[in-house]
Structure 1
Amino acid sequence: MNEADKMKDVQELSKEVKDMRKEIDTMKELLGGLIKVMMEHDDQFNDGDEYN
């Protein structure tokens, strides 16, 4: 493997890592929103008026 091939591999890996970071950031936002919605939903049923 020559130097040009190594550089190409490093560039491809770097691009993949950047894409993965973007996906992880998106997942963090989605999970944060989901947790917020779940907590708000849970609060609706914890106000003393429990359903039997």
Structure 2
Amino acid sequence: MLVKNLLAEFDHTLQPAPSIPFIDTTKERSDMWLLKRYGLPFMYWNLILKGRA
């Protein structure tokens, strides 16, 4: 089963504002699911809460 995810980011005027310039985050991608499943929790628990990000 191939799982896809969309990383949607917006600015204060509700216009799309992707924070990763070299990856097209406006289309469904399977690596965005991997980022959400493994990358973001790791960054939250190990970097953000410890003040490293």
Q: TM-score, normalised by structure 2?
A: 0.32
Structure 1 or 2, whichever has the larger Rg, is 1
